[in-house]
Structure 1
Amino acid sequence: MSAASILLLLLPLISAQTFNWGPCPNPQVQPNFNLQQYLGKWYEIEKLPTNFATGKCIEANYSLRKDGTIRVLNSQVIDGEVNDIEGTAVIQDIREPAKLGVSFSYSTPYSPYWVVKSDYTNVSVVYSCTDIVRLFHIDYAWILSRSRSLSPEKVNDAKNLLISEGIDISKMKPTDQSCGDD
């Protein structure tokens, strides 16, 4: 199968995503990542487009399960209705605990969820990339906050960090966090 054929088959999947030619970048991740401090609720402030989170008031809540895996509960509001999805995250290599894997289905492999930087109390920068036969890659990047808003300076710092790691954020968009409950 030619590269063009593969691209045509994948086009519906990537139309709402951010893709770039070549293999995934390999950004540095949070040194000495502390999962216990990272757990809890994070609000999505900005992200690269995805086909799975298109609503508003998007948030993620991370908690530790008894088996050592991480419960991921993502929610968003679409047409006035709250939509939740539960998944599982794992630290795939204890030598690099900031490189987690996340799955929202028992039948799909873990996708990368790399904590590039976090101060644990205000802001977190997360990156994920799926490499498609080293011809192109699909990027995901998020700027998260412990509250529904984040100062423009912190957003710019987060964006500059992603840029410095070779990640194209030209399609990054703010998330509507006007939810009326905070």
Structure 2
Amino acid sequence: MSAVYLLLLLFPLVSAQTYHWGPCPTPKVQPNFNLQQYLGRWYEIAKLPASFERGKCIEANYNVRKDGTIQVLNSQFYKDKVRVAEGTAVIPDLREPAQLGVSFSYFTPYAPYWILSTDYTSTSVVYSCTNILYIFHIDYAWILGRSRFLPPETVSYAKELLMNEGIDLFRMKATDQSGCKDN
């Protein structure tokens, strides 16, 4: 009975997300991932719904800190102003450098941030999944670009890659990158 109450308490949190019954899939990640080439600015092209991303002009900037962790600066234009969230990424297992963990608070554990594919210069496909008691899981997926707009065939290829890994993209939406100001 307590699992039912927990699910009811969690429902408002997951209602703005994409969730499925059962445990998370385990997609293949980018082989021979090179963090140094990945650093810098990435623009969000498309995503599965995420309650923490509701604006437009969404982008992420990655830089290595002196302590070896990765600074993650996410920004979006929401409710007439630019909103920035700073987080930390780590590579928990150096044997799998494309499987990062990201946290935006000292009070939350690192969430998976897996780079499934990147060419470092134009496109990146990222996936994250969180198991909830192994009863269901919450999916996140992003298609990122080094520019605000990618050719349609590149976006189609990225979506196909995600679907081939068993990730449901029914709720994936394009991110509004029109009228954005570059820093």
TM category (shorter chain) comes to over 0.9
Q: Which residue of 2 aligns with 1:63?
A: 63
Deviation sequence 1:20-41 (CA, Å, 0-9, x none): 0000000000000000000000
Once residues 51 and 72 of structure 1 are traced to their aligned partners in structure 2, the CA distance between those partners, rounded to angstroms, is 18
Match of 1:151 in 2: 151
1:134-166: CA deviations, max 9, x gaps?
110000000000000001100000000000000
Aligned counterparts, 1:156-167, within 5 A: 156-167=156-167
For the residue of structure 1 that corresponds to 2:160, the secondary structure is helix
Q: In the TM superposition, what whole-angstrom CA distance separates every residue of 1:107-155 from its partner, at most 9, and x where no partner exists?
A: 1110000000000000000000000111100000000000000011000
Letter in structure 2 aligned against 1:159: K
Q: 1:179, CA displacement in angstroms? A: 2.7
Where does residue 126 of structure 1 map in the other structure? Answer: 126
SS of 2:36's equivalent in the other structure is: helix
Question: 1:86 maps to which residue?
Answer: 86
Tell me the SS of whatever aligns to 1:181: coil
- Unpaired stretches in structure 2, ≥5 consecutive residues: none
What is the aligned-residue identity percentage? 69
* Matching residue's letter, 1:58: I
Instruction: Give the RMSD, CA atoms, in angstroms.
Output: 0.9
Give, as a single letter, the amino acid of the residue that structure 2 aligns with 1:21: W
Rounded to whole Å, the distance in 1 between the matches of 2:44 and 2:71 is 17
1:28-43 superposed matches below 5 A: 28-43=28-43
Paired residue total: 182
**Contact in 1 for aligned 2:74/2:84 (Cα 8 Å):** yes
Instruction: Verify: 1:99 aligned to 2:99, yes or no.
Output: yes
Residue 52 (structure 1) aligned with residue 52 (structure 2)? yes
Return the alpha-carbon distance in structure 1 between the equivalents of residues 8 and 94 of structure 2.
38
CA distance in 1, matches of 2:124, 2:93: 20
Would you identify which runs of 4 or more consecutive aligned residues in structure 1 move more than 2 Å? 1-6, 179-182
Shift of 1:169: 0.6
Partner in structure 2 of residue 26 of structure 1: 26
**Are the counterparts in 1 of residues 57 and 180 from structure 2 also a CA contact under 8 Å?**
no
Question: What are structure 1's unaligned runs of at least 5 residues?
Answer: none
Amino acid at match of 2:144: L
* One-letter amino acid of the structure 2 residue matched with residue 15 of structure 1: S
